[in-house]
């Protein structure tokens, strides 16, 4: 472990001088924001000193560098995490206290950059943490959006989106690197020219922008390795200010050139927002790929010269989903057009360097671009993709009887579209899914034709989570208890959490487990009171579903359950219910009407139930607005039930399921995504599994023997009543009724099997919550979940990537 400060006194001295030099004021006159910024600047500069040592070590040992290309990094707040990783949290807290400052209060000033939609972006951030912990020379490469994913506010129950101005007070972790800026060309046309007696291609008449990198340190636990995340911002190549327009009073026109360039990195697109066809998104993808590759190759060149065949030995480029799929053709372009390599040699280097993670099994969610749009924006890249496609077709094995169908399924160019998943598979030496069931479905279904052709490329890497952030940092009460029981080794090696099984029959310890959970529930209740003005009772069960809103994630099923319990309670006051607070949080893509209506339904049901004195002691419904990493860290530790109820076969992996399990929540879930691995690790008796399995869903779909109207008519008292309540007055008081949800579920014949799984789900919930009254048994299940969760540390996932994909 590196020593960051020799003593508390040294910290105080350096910190005071950092505050004064940054603010220009005496310490006593500075504001909390001055003090926060100065603290980050000091920790960042200490981190960069370790980064320099890391860099020297990597160079000296010739360590392979891994570049993780992702269009999203949902990094969360960094300060608390880095103090923990540097081993100086207590020292800094005490030092600040001597100066009359409260570390927890200062940490509230840190922006929580929403540079991702959800699981995919948070995975990328967890991987950065684990790469640094594992001593891998691993670097993130992504986009610096001026506005993150929208901020969600709830108005009359409905989601409203406002801009997330995370940069308004500056971002003290980042360092702008104009010296490393890269010129990126769009449009234009390709011409041939002769260079050293050889015909080459270049693109001329392009419209250029400057990609400017900002570097953020990534501090590994143990303070031995500090890597970096490089994010790119788009700017004009040169300042073109139209003075004439300005003098005319047309200020917008005067600065148009700058505005057009900056638009490329202005916003993060919400997924499911129908972004296809939006030129800006394609520009974003090319910008971070092209600029990122340029800096990767510069580093390689400075260390190994132009011996490009060594590239796969020293560099691994990993593409997180298909947004960086242009890495393949762009690397080919550089090697051929700029470095003068022949196609075959460049292709061999490219495919040995690049690897790809798939995140979705839904054919309709696979990314595609119209050829027309693509080829106009990136003409040379398109030529290379055409050549990749031509060679794929020419080399295709035509001996199998179904070869034509297989060629159609694997073609990069088809039906006027560039198919990015096909491009990613063809350009990569490794293709992985993110949970066992997901990889199996890829092999069997989504990418089956590729799997038949190149089975050796396919492998599974079940997702993982940064256990130091999501357990040690997010849940200090529980972490303290764990450390007292088994020592601090689990921070370094999450497998050591297994030692907790020794305490599963220790009544005093189990009581403390319950007490830590209760403390966390109080902490969340205070947050809810502050944010929503709602009182929730920490003595009730906290039943939690927090994730993006999507039909397949079935928040609708959860709220149907709440409506059912409410209805039954009103009909029969003797109906026993374990007092429960139903907690929801998550954003819906701005253009996804069904998901937004589901949010409005939840808030409308909450409005009725929370104001009905007949059920007040038994149930409350709470929607926490603006789900993001910082409030996730308050929610996960307080959960007792983890709702993981996607339609089986639809959720690739999930990661909140792992975070909740690690914090001692019991999974109430379907056999989907990583829930299956949770059950395998912790035992089915320690979770509550219900519902159709993926093969049963497939079978039911294929048979067509599934009828929403039959289910509606067959159960008028419960399911039928709920469907009717969508359109009558029961929950319409806040902002109207829910015709579109009723329409969706009945006319689309219950496409997500909400009605089909309804009864087994509610039964499972009733059984699970009935067991809550035996606190010792519940706490034992909770502890067993934590003890079984070490395998889900992203340290494990990253070691598998390192050993089986990157060879780093
Ligand atoms: N959104 C945020 C802010 C998260 O931290 C996470 C983390 O897991 C997710 C979304 C993903 O949730 P899930 O895995 O349940 O889809």
Rounded-to-integer distance, Cα 185 and Cα 619, Å: 58
Judge if the beta carbon of residue 148 lies within 6 A of ligand 1: no
Question: 251 lies in a domain?
Answer: no
CA 223 vs CA 5, 60, 88, 469: distances in Å = 12, 19, 10, 15
| Helix or strand (DSSP H, E) at 607 | helix 593-610
Judge if the beta carbon of residue 554 lies within 6 A of ligand 1: no
Q: How many residues does the chain have?
A: 808
547 Cα to the center of ligand 1, angstroms: 5
Question: 77 lies in a domain?
Answer: no
Residue range 238-254: average pLDDT? 81
704 Cα to the center of ligand 1, angstroms: 33
User: Residue 721 belongs to a domain with what CATH number?
Assistant: 3.40.50.2000
Predicted local confidence at residue 487, as pLDDT:
98
Rounded-to-integer distance, Cα 475 and Cα 470, Å: 7
The set of catalytic residues is: 359, 547-548, 553, 655, 659
Residue nearest to atom 2 of ligand 1 (CA): 118
Predicted local confidence at residue 287, as pLDDT:
98
Buried b / exposed e over 20-47, threshold 16 CB at 10 Å, is: bebbeeebeebeeebbbbbbbbbbbebb
Give 639-687 pLDDT, tens digit per residue.
Answer: 999 999 999 999 999 999 999 999 999 999 999 999 999 999 999 999 9
Judge if the beta carbon of residue 638 lies within 6 A of ligand 1: no
Predicted local confidence at residue 476, as pLDDT:
97
Question: 724 lies in a domain?
Answer: yes
**Cβ 377 vs Cβ 359: under 8 Å:** no
Mean pLDDT computed over every residue of the chain: 96
Residue nearest to atom 5 of ligand 1 (CA): 629
Judge if the beta carbon of residue 632 lies within 6 A of ligand 1: yes
CA-wise closest residue to 645 among 806, 772, 756: 756
Judge if the beta carbon of residue 236 lies within 6 A of ligand 1: no
Rounded-to-integer distance, Cα 9 and Cα 95, Å: 7
Residue nearest to atom 11 of ligand 1 (CA): 119
DSSP 3-state of 369: strand
Residue nearest to atom 10 of ligand 1 (CA): 118
| Helix or strand (DSSP H, E) at 384 | helix 379-394
**Cβ 683 vs Cβ 802: under 8 Å:** no
Rounded to 10°, the helix 32-61/8-23 angle is 110
What is the number of domains present in the chain? 1
Question: 489 lies in a domain?
Answer: yes
Question: 708 lies in a domain?
Answer: yes
Residue 416's pLDDT band (boundaries 50, 70, 90)?
A: very high
Residue 807's pLDDT band (boundaries 50, 70, 90)?
A: very high
Buried b / exposed e over 472-499, threshold 16 CB at 10 Å, is: bbbbbbbbebbeebbeeebbeebebbbb
Question: 678 lies in a domain?
Answer: yes
SS3 readout for 26-65: CHHHCCHHHHHHHHHHHHHHHHHHHHHHHHHHHHHHCCCE
At residue 113, does pLDDT exceed 70?
yes
Task: State how far Cα 756 lies from the chain centre.
Answer: 30
- The whole domain housing 619 covers 467-798
Predicted local confidence at residue 9, as pLDDT:
97
Check: complex ipTM more than 0.95: no
Q: Which atom of ligand 1 is nearest to the CA of 654?
A: 14
Judge if the beta carbon of residue 656 lies within 6 A of ligand 1: yes
433 Cα to the center of ligand 1, angstroms: 17
From 73, 114, 115, 119, the mutation candidate for ligand 1 (largest count of ligand atoms within 8 A of CB) is 119
State the residue for tokens 């993130």: 140
Predicted local confidence at residue 252, as pLDDT:
80
80 Cα to the center of ligand 1, angstroms: 20
**Cβ 98 vs Cβ 239: under 8 Å:** no
Residue 451's pLDDT band (boundaries 50, 70, 90)?
A: very high
Q: Taking the CA atoms of 552, 740, 544 and 221 in sequence, report the sign of the dihedral they define.
A: positive
CA-wise closest residue to 11 among 46, 36, 58, 61: 46
Question: 483 lies in a domain?
Answer: yes
Predicted local confidence at residue 238, as pLDDT:
82
At residue 225, does pLDDT exceed 70?
yes
Question: 593 lies in a domain?
Answer: yes
196 Cα to the center of ligand 1, angstroms: 53
Judge if the beta carbon of residue 118 lies within 6 A of ligand 1: yes
Judge if the beta carbon of residue 628 lies within 6 A of ligand 1: yes
């Amino acid at each position: 472990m590196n020593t960051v400060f020799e003593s508390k006194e040294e910290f105080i001295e350096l910190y005071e001088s950092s505050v004064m030099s940054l603010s220009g004021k005496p310490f006593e006159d500075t504001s909390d924001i001055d003090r926060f910024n100065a603290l980050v600047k000091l920790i960042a500069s200490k981190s960069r000193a370790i980064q320099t040592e890391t860099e020297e070590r990597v160079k000296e040992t010739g360590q392979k560098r891994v570049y993780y290309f992702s269009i999203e990094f949902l990094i969360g707040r960094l300060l608390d995490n880095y103090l923990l990783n540097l081993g100086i949290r207590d020292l800094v807290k005490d030092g600040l206290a001597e100066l009359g400052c409260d570390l927890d209060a200062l940490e509230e000033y840190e922006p929580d950059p929403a540079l991702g939609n959800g699981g995919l972006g948070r995975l990328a951030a967890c991987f950065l943490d684990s790469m640094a912990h594992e001593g891998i020379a691993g670097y993130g490469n992504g986009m610096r959006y001026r506005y993150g994913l929208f901020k969600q506010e709830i108005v009359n129950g409905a989601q409203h989106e406002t801009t997330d101005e995370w940069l308004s007070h500056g971002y003290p972790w980042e360092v702008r690197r104009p010296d490393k800026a890269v010129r990126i060309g769009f449009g234009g046309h390709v011409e041939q020219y002769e260079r050293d007696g050889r015909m080459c291609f270049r693109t001329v008449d392009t419209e250029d922008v400057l990609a400017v990198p900002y570097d953020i340190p990534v501090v590994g636990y143990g303070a031995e390795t500090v890597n970096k995340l490089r994010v790119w911002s788009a700017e004009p190549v040169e300042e073109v200010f139209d003075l004439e327009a300005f003098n005319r009073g047309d200020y917008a026109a005067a600065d148009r050139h700058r505005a057009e360039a900056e638009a490329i990195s202005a916003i993060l697109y919400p997924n499911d927002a129908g972004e296809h066809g939006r030129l800006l998104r394609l520009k974003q993808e090319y910008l971070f790929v092209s600029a990122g590759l340029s800096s990767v190759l510069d580093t390689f060149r400075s260390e190994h010269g132009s011996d490009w065949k060594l590239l796969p030995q020293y560099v691994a480029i990993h593409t997180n989903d298909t947004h960086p799929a242009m890495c393949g053709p762009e690397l080919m372009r550089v090697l051929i057009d700029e470095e003068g390599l022949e196609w075959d040699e460049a292709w061999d280097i490219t495919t040995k360097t690049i690897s790809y993670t798939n995140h979705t099994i839904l054919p309709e969610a696979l990314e595609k671009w119209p050829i027309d749009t693509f080829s106009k924006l990136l003409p040379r890249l398109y030529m290379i993709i055409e050549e990749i496609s031509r060679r794929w077709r020419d080399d295709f094995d035509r001996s199998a009887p179904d070869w034509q169908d297989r060629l159609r399924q694997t073609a990069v160019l088809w039906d006027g579209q560039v198919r990015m998943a096909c491009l990613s598979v063809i350009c990569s030496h490794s293709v992985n899914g993110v949970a066992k069931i997901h990889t199996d479905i890829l092999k069997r279904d989504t990418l089956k034709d590729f799997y038949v052709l190149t089975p050796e490329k396919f492998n599974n890497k079940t997702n993982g989570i940064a256990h130091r952030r999501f357990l040690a940092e997010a849940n200090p009460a529980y972490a303290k208890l764990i450390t007292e029981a088994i020592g601090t080794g689990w921070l370094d090696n999450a497998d050591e959490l297994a030692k907790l099984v020794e305490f599963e029959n220790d009544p005093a310890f189990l009581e403390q487990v319950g007490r830590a959970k209760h403390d966390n529930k109080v902490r969340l209740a205070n947050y809810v009171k502050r944010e929503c003005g709602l009182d929730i009772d920490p003595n009730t069960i906290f039943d939690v579903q927090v994730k993006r809103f999507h039909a397949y994630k079935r928040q609708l099923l959860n709220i149907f359950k709440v409506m059912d319990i409410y209805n039954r309670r009103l009909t029969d006051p003797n109906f026993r219910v374990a007092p429960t607070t139903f907690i929801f949080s998550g954003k819906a893509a701005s253009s996804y009407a069904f998901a937004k209506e589901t949010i409005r339904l939840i808030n409308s049901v909450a409005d009725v139930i929370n104001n009905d004195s007949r059920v007040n002691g038994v149930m409350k419904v709470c929607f926490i607005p603006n789900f993001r990493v910082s409030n996730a860290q308050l929610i996960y530790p307080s959960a007792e039930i983890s709702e993981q109820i996607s339609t089986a076969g639809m959720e690739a992996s999930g990661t909140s399921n792992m975070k909740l399990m690690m914090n001692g929540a019991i999974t109430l879930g379907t056999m989907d995504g990583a829930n299956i691995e949770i059950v395998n690790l912790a035992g089915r008796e320690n979770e509550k599994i219900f519902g159709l399995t993926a093969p049963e869903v497939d079978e039911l779909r294929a048979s067509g023997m599934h009828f929403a109207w039959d289910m509606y008519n067959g159960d008028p008292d419960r399911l039928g009543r709920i469907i009717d309540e969508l359109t009558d007055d029961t929950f319409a008081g806040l902002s109207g009724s829910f015709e579109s949800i009723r329409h969706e579920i009945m006319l689309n014949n219950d496409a997500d099997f909400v009605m089909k799984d309804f009864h087994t789900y509610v039964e499972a919930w009733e059984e699970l919550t009935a067991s809550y009254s035996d606190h010792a048994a519940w706490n034992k299940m909770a502890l067993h979940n934590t003890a079984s969760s070490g395998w889900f540390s992203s340290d494990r996932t990253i070691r598998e990537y390192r050993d089986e994909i990157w060879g780093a």
